[in-house]
Structure 1
Amino acid sequence: MIGPSIHIKGTVSGGEDLLIQGKVEGTIDLGDHEVSVGQSGKVTADIKAKIVKIEGEVAGDVTGSEKVVIAKSGRVRGNIIAPRVTLEDGAIFKGSIDMDPGDTRTAQSPPKVEKPAATAGDASKQSPGLDLKHG
């Protein structure tokens, strides 16, 4: 926990969950853990974590590999990237949200579908004596 009277400048990384009640400037990278910004927390940093919960203020991009939650008391100025995003009623947010950070190949080009050579519906285009239904 980073208490209300603590001010950190630089990179925060580690192998456990983190609760921020003070001030952090720089970057926060706790990829497989949870970062919570408490009501008194003021973060000017990009945040990367499994789960990010914001009740205080964040200025920076927020990336959650599982989800990002902005509580009603939360204020975020920055972009959010996460498969699941929750903005509670009353939350303040300015930025963009990307909820599909996964495979970009499927978003760029739809799969190719081959058309069959001839179907019963195409009988009108065939010669008049050919009946595709009965051989």
Structure 2
Amino acid sequence: MIGPKIRINGDVSGEENLLVEGQVDGKVSLGQHRLDIGTTGKVNADIEARIVKVDGEVNGDISGSEKVIISSSGNVRGNIVAPRMSLEDGAKFKGSIDMDPGKPAAQPAKPAAEAASANGSRPADTAKSANGQAPVPGKDKSAQEGLSLKAD
């Protein structure tokens, strides 16, 4: 914790969570940890952390690898990059938000029904009759086709 009467000029980095109630001028880098800026906290720095929650004031860019939260008492002037972002009612913000989650995760294998429809065939258990309904097991093909109507 950086207390309300502490002022730091320079870079802050670490491998644990941090609560800032005082003032930090420089750069804050916490890697895969959480940064909370309390209601009395003032940060004039670019921030990098897994989760960033702002209850105080930030002048600088924020990069959150998981999410960034600006509470109703928070005031941010800078750009935000994070896959998830929350701006509570009453929060003050000036800048841009980029919610690009980065590289997409490896796509899971397609289920058999999707894989079969991708190559043009349809598994027997997902075949549909002419009326759009799945066939009823044990019924003959004519029952599955439904009624055909002829116009005069």
**Which bin holds the TM-score, normalised by the shorter protein?**
0.7 to 0.9
Structure 2 match to 1:6: 6
Distance 2:37 2:102 in 1: 26
Structure 2 match to 1:98: 98
1:36 corresponds to which letter in structure 2?
D
Say which structure, 1 or 2, has more relative contact order (CA 8 Å, 6+ apart): 1
Does residue 1:68 correspond to 2:68, yes or no?
Answer: yes
Structure 1 match to 2:34: 34
Distance 2:101 2:41 in 1: 27
Structure 2 match to 1:53: 53
Distance 2:48 2:24 in 1: 14
The alpha-carbon deviation at position 103 of structure 1 amounts to: 3.5
Structure 1 match to 2:86: 86
Distance 1:16 1:69 in 2: 19
Distance 1:80 1:101 in 2: 12
Structure 1 match to 2:121: none
Query: Residue 31 of structure 1 aligns to a residue in which SS?
Result: coil
Between structures 1 and 2, the one with greater strand share: 1
Distance 1:101 1:27 in 2: 23
Structure 1 match to 2:141: none
The total of aligned residue pairs comes to: 104
The alpha-carbon deviation at position 101 of structure 1 amounts to: 4.7
Q: 1:52-107: per-residue Cα shift (whole Å, max 9, x none)? A: 00000000000000000000000000000000000000000000000005149xxx
Structure 1 match to 2:25: 25
The alpha-carbon deviation at position 48 of structure 1 amounts to: 0.3
Distance 1:76 1:101 in 2: 21
2:48 corresponds to which letter in structure 1?
K
2:23 corresponds to which letter in structure 1?
K
Please give the root-mean-square deviation of Cα atoms over the aligned residues, in Å. 1.1
Structure 1 match to 2:145: none
Distance 2:36 2:99 in 1: 20
